[in-house]
Structure 1
Amino acid sequence: MTLPILSPDNILLNAEIDNKESAIRLTGSVLAENGYVDDDYIEKMLEREELSSTYMGNFVAIPHGTDDAKQSVKESGIAIIQVPNGVDFGNGNIVKLLVGIAGKGGEHLEVLSKIAIVLSEEENVQKIVNASSKEEILAIFEGVN
């Protein structure tokens, strides 16, 4: 399986976000606007964050829904939001890159692992945070299959 289609429509550059809840809502709204999830998936993303933080380290958070959110997923999708000035995810954790995930069926774990490969390299995270175009970000992710 390759990553779900990542199109320029799924990427937001230079977002200014005040807090964690706004960050998660924005990430979810990109997934919803592009037809990957129903609107109620966003609430499931917030519920998931209450259970345990989706902050992964290295300035990255990967917000996604709870296990019972699967019925709200229409098809697997990814949203990428660049937040150069950062948003506080609590406990001093600053997030500069939000990667929202919606996985259909059991695909979310495979999608997560592929994204983790890209984001485990600090150099890739810096390139994505500093990218000045959506195409630059797409090129980084397209190197993974």
Structure 2
Amino acid sequence: MAKEVLSKDNIHLNVSLSGKEEGIRYTGGILVDNGYVEASYVDKMLEREELTSTFMGNHVAIPHGTEDSKQAVKETGISVVTVPDGVEFGDGNIVKVLIGIAGKGDEHLEVLSKIAIVLSEEENVQKIVDAESKEEVIRLFDEVN
């Protein structure tokens, strides 16, 4: 049976991070630790960030691997990390929600569209930052069909 794309184990609330690289490593590390990707995927996430920032606005960044990182993905999954104090993501952009994405085949496209819908609303971003439980975060994403 396939893993849940977003399980409670993939959500870390109220994390303190020193910078963009630590944020990406942390977010990717959750995917590694929970069996979604091989460790090499995290390097591809950092490589992607060098090519183009994954900062999306609304205090959100969506780190993910490069096109050639697909072979390092075992299962489609996302990780969610909240950083209420924010983390500098370059160019003065402060990120409070990091969402790591690993997609098998084209499955990540559906995941991305769901994330985009939830995070397009500033109030949803704030709800994620303010979430006191992992269930609250999962509920927000489950409300989008």
TM range (shorter): over 0.9
- Matched residues in 2 for 1:14 and 1:107: separation? 28
**Structure-2 residue corresponding to 1:112:** 112
The CA deviation at 1:113 is 1.1
**Structure-2 residue corresponding to 1:5:** 5
The code of the aligned residue for 1:115 comes to I
The CA deviation at 1:144 is 1.2
The CA deviation at 1:58 is 0.1
Q: Does 1:132 align with 2:101?
A: no
> What are the equivalent positions in structure 2 for 1:10-21 lying under 5 Å apart?
10-21=10-21
**Structure-2 residue corresponding to 1:72:** 72
- Matched residues in 2 for 1:126 and 1:134: separation? 14
Q: Does 1:55 align with 2:34?
A: no
For the residue of structure 2 that corresponds to 1:53, the secondary structure is: coil
**Structure 1 residues without counterparts, runs of 5 or longer:** none
- Matched residues in 2 for 1:101 and 1:118: separation? 15
For the residue of structure 1 that corresponds to 2:79, the secondary structure is: strand
- Matched residues in 1 for 2:5 and 2:52: separation? 27
TM-score, normalization by structure 2: 0.96
Indicate the RMSD between aligned Cα atoms, in angstroms.
0.8
Report the number of matched residues: 142
**Structure 2 residues without counterparts, runs of 5 or longer:** none
**Structure-1 residue corresponding to 2:26:** 26
- Matched residues in 2 for 1:109 and 1:54: separation? 15
- Matched residues in 2 for 1:143 and 1:5: separation? 15
Alignment check: 8 A CA contact 2:114 2:141 kept? no
Alignment check: 8 A CA contact 2:18 2:87 kept? yes
The code of the aligned residue for 1:49 comes to E
The CA deviation at 1:7 is 1.0
Instruction: Tell me the alpha carbon deviations over residues 58-78 of structure 1, each in whole angstroms, 9 at most, x when there is no partner.
Output: 000000000000000001000
TM-score, normalization by structure 1: 0.96
For the residue of structure 2 that corresponds to 1:26, the secondary structure is: helix
Q: Does 1:35 align with 2:35?
A: yes
The percent of aligned pairs where both chains have the same amino acid is 68
